[in-house]
Chain A
Amino acid sequence: MLVHLNNIKNFFIIIIFLSAVPFSAYSEEKKLDFLKTDWSFNGIFGTFDRASLQRGYQVYQEVCSGCHSVQHLSYRNLSEKGGPEFSVEEAKAIASQFEVEDGPNSEGEMFIRPGRLSDKFVKPYPNVQATTAANDGAYPPDMSVLAKARAGGADYIYSLLLGYDEVPEGLQLDDGVYYNKYMPGNKIKMSEPISEGIVEYSDGTKSTKEQIAKDVTTFLVWSSEPHLENQHRMGFKAIIYLIILIILVYMSKQKVWSRFGSKMTKEEETFDKVERAVTEYEGEDPKTFK
C-alpha cells in the first residue's frame, strides 16, 4: 500500500503552523529592538565562552553583588563542567573570601566561618525588607534566573546595561530614578551600573562598556541555565538518534504494510474477475484472452 507523501506533507505544514501560533501569541509589540551581539551560547551547538564567564563572574562580584543576590548558585558551580570552569582550588579560594553564618554549634551559638564550596552564594542582604530599606524602597532582584525571567533574555539584559541615556525633554524624573531606553516604562531605579574601566580584567581584555555588559550577561545566562551545554549536547544526540530510528521504523512499517492485501486497485480486481468469467464461459486460456 502506497503512503501518500502529499498527505504527510500537508500534515506537517498544518502541525508547524499550529505550533507557531503560541509563539506569536506572547510576542508583545516591541517599541525598540534590542541591541544585538553574537552570543556563543545560542543555537544548537551553543557553548559558553569560558573566559567571558570568568570575567563575567568578576563583574558580578565587583559591581553587582553589592545589591543583587544570586542565591541559587553554589560556589562549587564555579568549578563545574559547562560553567566558568575555575579550578577546584580557585573555587575554594573564592568561597573562602566570604563569611557564612553557620550553627548552632554544640553550645547552641551561631558562628561565622569562611565559605566552602557547598555554600550558596552569600547574599548582600539577609531578607527582602533589609534589601528595600537599603535601596531607597527599590528591590534589586535576585539574579539567579534573571535571564529567563525577562522577555528578551540575554538581549534584554545586555541592552538594558547599555541603555542609559539622557532624559528626553519634557520628562520629569524623581530623585533616584534614571532613564533607560530598554526598561519597560523607561524608568529604572538602578543608576548606571557599568562604565568604561570599572573593572580591570586580569586576562588583558579591554574593559569597554560593551565588553563588561557582554561578560556579565553571559554569566547571568549561565547562572539561569547551568546545564545549558549539556542540554545542547544531549539534544543534538537525541535528535540524530530519533532521525535514524524514524527512518528504520518507516522502512519496517512499509515492509509490514506491503504484506497486507494485493496492490491491485479495485478496477483491476473487477477487470480480473470479468476476465476470468469470460474465459470460463468461452473455455479459453486466460493468457490468450483479448
Chain B
Amino acid sequence: MSEIKYIPKSKLAKWFDKRLPLLTLSHHLTEYPTPKNLNYWWTFGGILTFCLITQIVTGLVLAMHYVAHVDHAFESIEHIMRDVNYGWLIRYVHANGASMFFLAVYIHIFRSLFYGSYKSPREVIWIIGLFIYILMMATAFMGYVLPWGQMSFWGATVITNLFSAIPFVGESITTWLWGGYSIGNPTLNRFYSLHYLLPFLTFGLVILHIWALHVPGNNNPVGIDIKKNSNETMPFHPYMVMKDLFALLLFVTVFLWFVFFAPNVLGHPDNYIEANPLVTPAHIVPEWYLLPFYAILRAVPSKLGGVIFMFSAIFILMLLPWLDTSKVRSAIFRPIYKKLFWILVFTVILLGYLGAKPPEGIYLILSRLATAYYFIHFLILLPILGRYEKTDPLPMSISDPVLNKPGILDKVKKAASKYEGENVGSFK
C-alpha cells in the first residue's frame, strides 16, 4: 500500500492547504507507509512521545505549586503531596514517569542497536535521538534536585563538581554553574528554570527525529530496504496506531502499577530527608537510569579521566554508524554480532548494578573490566567484525524471511528425510 498524494476535496481546503499545507501533513502522517513486519519493539517511539507529553503536562501542574527556594522547596513538595487535590497522584506520575521514560528510551535504543537502525540512511535520526537522550538526562538530573532532599543536594554536588576537573577553567565554570561558591539558592533557581526549558527543546528535537524518520521510512526487523509502493507496507493509520495503542496501554499499566502500589521503590529513601550541607549520606547514588555512567565515572582512577570516559561513553554512540562497518543491518543475519549485542546488554546492566555499589574491592575491579569492555565493543570489535563476519543470506523481501531464515533449510531437510526414511546427508 503506497502513500497516495493528498488532493483537497473542498475549495476551502484547497485554498488553505496551498497557503499552509497542514492538511497535506496530516494526510501524510496517517498514510505514512510502514513495513508490515514491524514487531512490538517498534512501539516504543509512540510510547516515548506519550512519556514526554505526560511529563510536560504533570510538570506544568507541579510548577503551579512548587516553590524554588532552599527554605521552602522541600516543604512545598509535602504541600503538593498532602494539600493539593490529587497532588500526590500528579507528583508520583511525574516522578515515576521519569523512570518509565528512561526504561522506554533504553529499550528504544537497544532495539536500534539490535536491528541496526542507526545505519545508512538513518544516521541523522540516530544522532538526533542521542541528543534527545542527552537532554533527557540533563532534565532528569535537574528535576531530581528540585525536591531539595539529601540525594538532590549531594547528587548535584557530585555532578557539578565534575566540571571542576576541567584544567585551568574548571573552578570558574563550577562557580558559574552554581551561581555562588557552593550549591545554594541560585543553583536551585537556575536548575528549576532549565528543568522547565529543556523538555520543550526535547519536544522540538522529537519533531526533527520524526521528520528525519519519515524521509527514509522505518527500518524493520529484517533490516532490508522495503519497496515503498508494494504490499510490504501498510498505512500508519489505523494499523500502526492500533498496534501502538495496544502496546502503550500495556506500558501504562506497568507505569500505573508503580504509581499506585510502589511509588517510591525507584527513588532513594534519603531524598525524603531535607537537604543538609553538613551531613553527607553514606552512599551518594544517582537515579537508577544514570547508574551505568556513574560506574564508568568512578572506574577511572583520575577525576578528569573519569569525566572524559563518562562523556565519551555517550558521545561514542554518535560515531556508531561509522564504527559499525557491516553492511547488514539486522542482527538476525549477523550470528556473531547477535552474541556481542547480548554481551553489551549484560555489560550495561552490570555497570548499572556496580554504579549502586561502593567503588571498592571486587566492585571496582568489575566496573573497570566492564568499562573497558564497553569501549572495546564499540571501538575495536564492531569495526573489525563488519569486515570478517560471515553473515547469513538475506531474504529478497520482507515477505519471505521465513524461507531464508538461518537453519530453516536444515529443518526442511530433516523433516523430508524423516518422511522419506532417508539419510539426512544424502538427501538432495
**Interface of A with B (CB < 8 Å)?**
1, 7-8, 11, 15, 18-19, 21-26, 44, 72, 77, 141, 144-145, 148-151, 153, 184, 224-227, 231-232, 234-236, 238-239, 242-243, 245-246, 249-250, 252-253, 256-257, 260-261, 266
Contact = CB atoms under 8 A, between A and B. Distances in A.
A11 B40 contact: yes
Nearest to B282: A184
A19 B251 CA distance: 12
Given A25-B356, A72-B78, A252 B291 contact: no
A231 B249 CA distance: 20
B249 A235 contact: no
A44 B261 contact: yes
B88 A231 contact: yes
Contacts of A153: 269
Interface residues of B, number: 53
Contacts of A236: 260
B273 interface: yes
Contacts, number: 115
Name, among B231, B269, B356, B400, the residue most crowded by chain A CB atoms within 10 Å (CB to CB).
B269
A246 B253 contact: yes
10 closest Cβ pairs, A-B complex: A235-B260, A149-B272, A22-B288, A253-B242, A25-B356, A72-B78, A148-B272, A145-B272, A246-B249, A242-B253
Contacts of B253: 239, 242-243, 246
B82 A235 contact: no
A252 B291 CA distance: 40
Contacts of A232: 260-261
Contacts of A235: 256-257, 259-261
6 contacts: A1-B36, A148-B269, A235-B256, A249-B246, A253-B246, A256-B242
Given A239-B257, A252-B242, A256-B242, 17 more contacts: A18-B106, A21-B349, A21-B352, A25-B288, A25-B355, A72-B82, A148-B264, A148-B272, A149-B270, A151-B269, A225-B88, A231-B89, A231-B260, A232-B260, A246-B246, A253-B243, A253-B246
B39 interface: yes
B36 A261 contact: yes
A246 B288 CA distance: 29
Nearest to A8: B40
B86 to A, nearest CB: 9
Name, among A19, A25, A144, A257, the residue most crowded by chain B CB atoms within 10 Å (CB to CB).
A25
A151 B270 CA distance: 8
A50 B354 CA distance: 43
B238 interface: yes
Nearest to A1: B36
A234 to B, nearest CB: 7
A18 B348 CA distance: 11
Nearest to A234: B260
A144 to B, nearest CB: 7
Interface in B238-260: 238-239, 242-243, 245-246, 249-250, 252-254, 256-257, 259-260
Contacts of A184: 282
A149 B89 CA distance: 19
Contacts of A151: 269
B103 interface: yes
A19 B250 CA distance: 14
B112 interface: no
A157 to B, nearest CB: 12
Interface of B: 36, 39-41, 75, 78, 81-82, 88-89, 99, 103, 106-107, 231, 234, 238-239, 242-243, 245-246, 249-250, 252-254, 256-257, 259-261, 263-266, 268-270, 272-273, 282, 285, 288, 291, 349, 352-353, 355-356, 399-400, 403
A115 B268 CA distance: 35
B38 to A, nearest CB: 11
A70 B173 CA distance: 40
B326 to A, nearest CB: 24
Contact of A266 (B103, B266, B399): B399
Contact of A25 (B82, B261, B291): B291
A249 B248 CA distance: 11
B224 to A, nearest CB: 15
Nearest to A80: B82
A184 B99 CA distance: 28
A241 to B, nearest CB: 10
Contacts of A234: 89, 260
B266 A22 contact: yes
A44 B259 CA distance: 12
A153 B291 CA distance: 23
Contacts of B257: 235, 239
Nearest to A29: B357
Contacts of B107: 15, 18
Contacts of B36: 1, 260-261
A261 B39 CA distance: 17
B245 A253 contact: yes
Contacts of A23: 265
Contacts of A8: 40
B268 A249 contact: no
Given A232-B260, A242-B249, A246-B249, A11 B41 contact: yes
Given A21-B352, A22-B266, A256 B238 contact: yes
A261 B106 contact: no
A148 B81 CA distance: 13
Given A149-B273, A231-B88, A261-B231, A242 B256 contact: yes
Contacts of A44: 261
A23 B352 CA distance: 11
Nearest to B243: A253
B400 A266 contact: yes
A184 B283 CA distance: 13
A7 to B, nearest CB: 6
B37 to A, nearest CB: 10
A259 B352 CA distance: 45
Nearest to A77: B82
A185 to B, nearest CB: 9
Contacts of A18: 103, 106-107
A24 B357 CA distance: 11
A232 B99 CA distance: 21
A249 B242 contact: yes
A247 B190 CA distance: 46
A248 to B, nearest CB: 10
Nearest to A76: B83
Contacts of B273: 141, 149
Contacts of A19: 103, 254
